[in-house]
Structure 1
Amino acid sequence: MVQRADINNVLSEIRNLRTQMMQNQRIEQDQSVRGRIDGPRQVQETQEVPSFSDMLGKAVNNVHEVQSQASELRTAYEMGDPNVDITRVMIAAQKSSVSFEALTQVRNRVVRAYEDIMNMPI
């Protein structure tokens, strides 16, 4: 028989993830402040910068991968796989939703920038 996670376990897991995210943000902020205090770090000039289309393509591929993983987890859970619990399914679904929404916002901004450029007087 497959045991399903109860709501308290799910909420506890979400709280733990939120706490970890907040700690990571604090660490990043501390490093950012420390970098400003220590002065700018030297950047290697030979570092290649990817093109916008490459970055956008990678973002679309990453969103697709996240959505595929969420779909696979959901299907496995629905089929009764004992190794997949509802917590993992819900977290994967939320990651998928957030990544798709972020990609949609980027697309909207790109379209808006294109429209602004096209509406500029010559």
Structure 2
Amino acid sequence: MAVSGLSGIESMLQQMRTVVTKAETGNFAAGEVAGQPDGFAAELQRSIRRVTSAQNAASNQAKAFELGAPDISLNDVMVDMQKASLGFQTAVQVRNKLVAAYKEISSMAV
């Protein structure tokens, strides 16, 4: 029973190492990490893409406003910039929690 528990822990640690490595390098591929296309890594990848998309959209909107586009208001630009900033801050906090959890689990005595 202890041996099967150890192999489960080793498997989980390997999956966490893979996720951390890919999070640090940004090398996520759709459906990667332990063959789980709808797993945590895939959701993390989708979230990072949404944050990137929001940042790019806010930046483009700000540039258009600076160039004097008549259909873009300052209020919309500021709200979109704040949304992008909050999304980025949230993504950083999730990454920090993931790394902290990985470090805590990897330092546990088995």
* TM bracket, shorter-chain basis: 0.5 to 0.7
Question: Which of residues 53, 78, 81 is equivalent to 1:93?
Answer: 81
What are the ranges of 5 or more consecutive residues in structure 2 without an aligned counterpart?
1-36
Q: 2:87 aligns to what SS in structure 1?
A: helix
Q: Structure 1: how far apart are the matches of 2:75 and 2:61?
A: 10
User: Shift in Å at residue 106 of structure 1?
Assistant: 0.4
Partner of 2:58: 70
Larger Rg: 1
What are the ranges of 5 or more consecutive residues in structure 1 without an aligned counterpart?
1-48
* Matched letter for residue 76 of structure 2: R
User: Shift in Å at residue 58 of structure 1?
Assistant: 0.2
Within the alignment, does 1:55 sit opposite 2:43 as a pair?
yes
Matched residue pairs, number?
A: 74
Which runs of structure 2 are paired with 1:1-80 in the superposition (5 Å)? 50-80=38-68
Q: Structure 1: how far apart are the matches of 2:93 and 2:63?
A: 28
Q: 2:71 aligns to what SS in structure 1?
A: coil
* Matched letter for residue 101 of structure 2: A
Partner of 1:43: none
Q: Percent identity?
A: 34
Partner of 1:20: none
Q: Structure 2: how far apart are the matches of 1:59 and 1:116?
A: 24
Partner of 1:108: 96
* Matched letter for residue 87 of structure 1: N
RMSD: 1.1
Question: TM (normalized to structure 1)?
Answer: 0.59
* Structure 1 residue ranges (4+ consecutive) displaced by more than 4 angstroms after TM superposition: none
Q: Structure 2: how far apart are the matches of 1:121 and 1:86?
A: 55
How big is each residue's C-alpha offset from its partner over 1:17-56, in whole Å with a ceiling of 9 and x where there is no partner?
Answer: xxxxxxxxxxxxxxxxxxxxxxxxxxxxxxxx82011000
* Matched letter for residue 107 of structure 2: N
User: Shift in Å at residue 118 of structure 1?
Assistant: 1.1
* Matched letter for residue 90 of structure 1: M
